[in-house]
C-alpha cells in the first residue's frame, strides 16, 4: 500500500464520508478520531476501500503515518475544537505541512487563524452537500494561498461533484477566510431558498387548501422546469413522504420550528457590516427565529385569530412564477454582497467561478446557476437583476410575485422572504425614491445636510436659521 500523503481528523458523519470519498478517488489516507473505537469502526466498515485507509490511534501516529510534506484535513465542529486541534498539531508539524479546516468555520475565525503565525500552512475550505455530497461529490470553496490551492487542487477537484459540462465544482475563492466566507453566503442563500419554498408551500396549504400529496406533486412538476434544483426536488420528496405512526403525510406531523447552526445569521451580520442589502436572506433568518417562538405564536393566534379562509384567483403557476422571481432577486442580492465583500476585504472574488462551483454538489445546486454563471461572466460587476436574461425572466415573473405577496398580505399568510424580495425589487427599479424625506428629517433634527437635485449649494432647510 502507498504511504498516505493526506490525513483526516474527525470521523463524524461528514468526516467519515469525506475520508471514504478521498480513498475512493484513489488517494491513500490516514485517519484519526479522538475516540479510538470510532476510528476502528470506521476502518472496519470501509469495505474494499479499507486497504487505502490507515487507521491511527494517536495524533502523533497520524502525523507519522503521512508522507511529508503532509496535508491534514480537519473535520471537527467549528469553533474552539478547531483551535484546540491546531494547538495540538503545532508541536507535531513542520512549516511545509498543511492543515485544511473543512468545517463550517466562521470566516473571521479562519482569518484570525491564518494571521496567527501557525507553525504550518493553513487553509479554510467550505464544503457543501451534506453527508451524501461529502461521500460522493461535494462543492468545495477553498480559501488560502494560490500555492496551497495548487497543491490541494488535484485531490479537492477529484473528490468534488461535477457540473453537467464535466467541470469539477471545487475552486479557489481567495486568500485566508475567502472560502469560508463564500460558504457562509451559500448558507444564507440556502436559508432563503428553503424559506421561499416554505412560503409557497404555506400558500398552497392554507390559501389554496391543497394537501401534502398535491403539494408534493406540484414541487415535482416545478423540478422539471426552470426551478430545477436539489431543494425543490427534496421538498417534493418531503411533501410526498408518508408517516407510519400517524398513517398520514409526514409533513403534517413535523413541528414547525426550524433549527439552525448560525451560518445564515453570520451572513446577515456580515451584510450589515458591509451595508450590503440582502433582505431575502435577512427575512429567512428572521423567519427561522420566529418559527422557534412556538408559545408566543400560539398566544398570538388565540388573540388575533388565524389567517382568513381561502385565497381566490391564485394558481400554483403563480406560485411557481413567484418562486422564480424570488430566487433571482435573492441571488442578485447574494452576489452583490459578495462583490461588496471582495472590494472591502481586498479579495478578488470571482463571481462567475462562484456560480460555477455552486452548480453541483452543494445544497443550493440548481439549473439556474448555469445561467447565473453565464450572466456573471458577461459582466461580473453588474447586478444580476439587470442582466438581460434575468431581466427578461423578472419581467415575466414579477407580476405573479406581486399577486402572491398581495394575496398573502390580504389573507394573513406570511411571506416574509418573497415580500422582502419584491420590496427590494421595487426600490431597485425606482430612480426617484423617498430618501429625500429621510434627508430632510436628518437635516431638521441634526443639521446633517443634504444634496439638492438642482445642484445648488444650499445644504440645509429653513430650520437651520432659527
C-alpha distances in angstroms, 237 versus 230, 319, 353, 402? 11, 18, 30, 28
In the complex, minimum distance from the CB of residue 108 to ligand 6PG, in angstroms, rounded to a whole number:
17
Cross-strand partners of 229 = 366
* Binding of ligand 6PG by 346 (CB under 6 A): no
Segment contacting ligand 6PG (CB under 6 A): 92-100, 124-132, 339-347, 410-418? Answer: 124-132
Segment contacting ligand 6PG (CB under 6 A): 126-134, 381-389, 398-406, 417-425? Answer: 126-134
Residues numbered 289 to 308 that lie near ligand 6PG (CB under 6 A) are none
- Binding to ligand 6PG by CB under 6 A, coded x per residue (else -) over 91-120, reads -------------x----------------
Segment contacting ligand 6PG (CB under 6 A): 125-133, 312-320, 336-344, 444-452? Answer: 125-133
* Cβ closest to ligand 6PG, residue 188 vs residue 236: 188
- Nearest CA to 415 out of 272, 290, 270, 230 is that of 290
Which of 231, 287, 329, 362 contacts ligand 6PG by CB under 6 A? Answer: 362
183 counts as catalytic: yes
Q: Which of 51, 131, 164, 183 is catalytic?
A: 183
Residues numbered 49 to 78 that lie near ligand 6PG (CB under 6 A) are none
Strand 53-55's sheet: what is its strand order? Answer: 53-55, 29-32, 6-9, 71-74, 98-101, 121-128, 139-143, 170-174
In the complex, minimum distance from the CB of residue 360 to ligand 6PG, in angstroms, rounded to a whole number:
13
Identify the residue whose cell numbers are 476502518: 43
25 within 8 A of 158, measured Cβ to Cβ:
yes
Secondary structure letter of residue 2 according to DSSP: P
Q: At what angle do helices 230-240 and 212-222 cross, to 10 degrees?
A: 160
13 Cβ contact partners less than 8 Å away, ≥ 6 residues apart: 131, 134
* Cβ closest to ligand 6PG, residue 190 vs residue 371: 190
Task: Count interface residues toward ligand 6PG (CB under 6 A).
Answer: 13
* Cβ closest to ligand 6PG, residue 74 vs residue 401: 74
* Cβ closest to ligand 6PG, residue 54 vs residue 366: 366
* Cβ closest to ligand 6PG, residue 65 vs residue 75: 75
Using CB positions, name the residue nearest to ligand 6PG: 128
* 69 upstream amide cis, omega within 30 of 0: yes
Q: At what angle do helices 230-240 and 178-202 cross, to 10 degrees?
A: 40
In the complex, minimum distance from the CB of residue 147 to ligand 6PG, in angstroms, rounded to a whole number:
27
Which of 33, 39, 111, 187 contacts ligand 6PG by CB under 6 A? Answer: 187
Residues 81, 82, 87, 88, CA torsion sign: positive
76 Cβ contact partners less than 8 Å away, ≥ 6 residues apart: 9, 10, 12, 15, 82, 85, 103
* Binding of ligand 6PG by 128 (CB under 6 A): yes
359 within 8 A of 164, measured Cβ to Cβ:
yes
Q: CA 326 to CA 284: how far, in whole Å?
A: 12
* Binding of ligand 6PG by 142 (CB under 6 A): no
Which of 190, 206, 233, 320 contacts ligand 6PG by CB under 6 A? Answer: 190
282 counts as catalytic: no
* Cβ closest to ligand 6PG, residue 144 vs residue 264: 264
* Cβ closest to ligand 6PG, residue 125 vs residue 404: 125
Q: CA 416 to CA 142: how far, in whole Å?
A: 33
- Binding to ligand 6PG by CB under 6 A, coded x per residue (else -) over 242-281, reads -----------------xxx-xx-----------------
Cross-strand partners of 8 = 31, 73
C-alpha distances in angstroms, 396 versus 187, 279, 430? 28, 22, 18
Q: Which residues bind ligand 6PG (CB under 6 A)?
A: 104, 128-130, 187, 190, 259-261, 263-264, 362-363
Residues designated as active site:
183, 190
Amino acid at each position: 500500500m502507498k504511504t498516505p500523503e493526506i490525513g483526516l481528523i474527525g470521523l463524524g458523519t461528514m468526516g467519515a464520508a469525506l475520508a471514504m470519498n478521498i480513498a475512493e478517488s484513489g488517494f491513500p489516507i490516514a485517519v484519526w478520531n479522538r475516540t479510538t473505537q470510532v476510528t476502528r469502526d470506521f476502518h472496519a466498515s470501509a469495505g474494499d476501500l479499507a486497504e487505502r485507509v490507515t487507521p491511527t490511534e494517536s495524533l502523533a501516529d497520524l502525523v507519522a503515518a503521512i508522507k511529508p510534506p503532509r496535508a491534514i484535513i480537519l473535520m471537527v465542529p467549528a469553533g474552539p475544537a478547531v483551535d484546540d486541534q491546531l494547538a495540538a498539531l503545532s508541536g507535531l508539524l513542520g512549516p511545509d505541512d498543511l492543515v485544511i479546516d473543512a468545517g463550517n468555520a466562521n470566516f473571521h475565525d479562519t482569518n484570525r487563524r491564518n494571521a496567527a503565525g501557525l507553525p504550518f500552512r493553513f487553509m479554510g475550505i467550505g464544503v457543501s452537500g451534506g453527508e451524501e455530497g461529502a461521500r460522493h461529490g461535494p462543492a468545495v470553496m477553498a480559501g488560502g494561498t494560490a500555492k496551497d490551492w495548487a497543491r490541494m487542487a488535484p485531490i479537492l477537484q477529484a473528490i468534488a461533484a461535477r457540473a453537467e459540462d464535466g467541470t469539477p465544482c471545487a475552486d479557489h475563492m481567495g486568500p485566508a477566510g475567502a472560502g469560508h466566507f463564500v460558504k457562509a453566503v451559500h448558507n444564507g442563500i440556502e436559508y432563503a431558498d428553503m424559506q421561499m419554498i416554505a412560503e409557497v408551500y404555506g400558500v398552497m396549504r392554507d390559501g389554496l387548501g391543497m394537501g401534502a400529496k398535491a403539494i408534493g406533486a406540484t414541487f415535482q412538476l416545478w423540478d422539471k422546469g426552470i426551478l430545477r434544483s436539489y431543494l425543490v426536488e427534496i421538498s417534493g420528496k418531503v411533501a410526498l413522504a408518508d408517516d407510519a405512526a400517524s398513517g398520514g403525510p409526514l409533513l403534517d406531523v413535523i413541528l414547525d420550528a426550524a433549527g439552525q447552526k448560525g451560518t445564515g445569521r453570520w451572513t446577515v451580520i456580515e451584510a450589515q457590516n458591509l451595508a450590503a442589502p440582502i433582505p431575502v436572506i435577512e427575512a429567512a433568518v428572521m423567519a427561522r427565529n420566529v418559527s422557534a417562538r412556538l408559545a408566543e405564536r400560539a398566544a398570538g393566534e388565540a388573540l388575533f385569530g388565524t389567517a382568513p379562509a381561502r385565497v381566490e384567483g391564485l394558481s400554483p403557476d403563480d406560485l411557481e412564477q413567484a418562486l422564480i422571481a424570488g430566487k433571482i432577486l435573492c441571488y442578485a442580492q447574494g452576489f452583490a454582497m459578495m462583490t461588496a465583500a471582495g472590494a472591502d476585504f481586498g479579495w478578488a472574488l470571482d463571481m462567475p467561478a462562484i456560480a460555477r462551483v455552486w452548480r453541483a454538489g452543494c445544497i443550493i445546486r440548481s439549473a439556474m446557476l448555469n445561467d447565473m454563471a453565464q450572466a456573471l461572466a458577461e459582466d461580473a460587476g453588474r447586478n444580476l437583476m439587470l442582466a438581460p436574461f434575468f431581466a427578461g425572466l423578472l419581467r415575466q415573473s414579477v407580476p405573479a410575485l406581486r399577486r402572491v405577496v398581495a394575496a398573502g398580505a390580504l389573507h394573513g399568510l406570511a411571506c416574509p422572504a418573497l415580500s422582502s424580495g419584491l420590496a427590494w425589487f421595487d426600490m431597485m427599479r425606482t430612480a426617484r425614491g423617498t430618501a429625500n424625506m429621510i434627508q430632510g428629517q436628518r437635516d431638521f433634527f441634526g443639521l446633517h445636510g443634504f444634496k439638492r437635485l438642482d445642484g445648488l449649494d444650499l445644504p440645509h432647510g429653513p430650520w437651520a436659521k432659527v
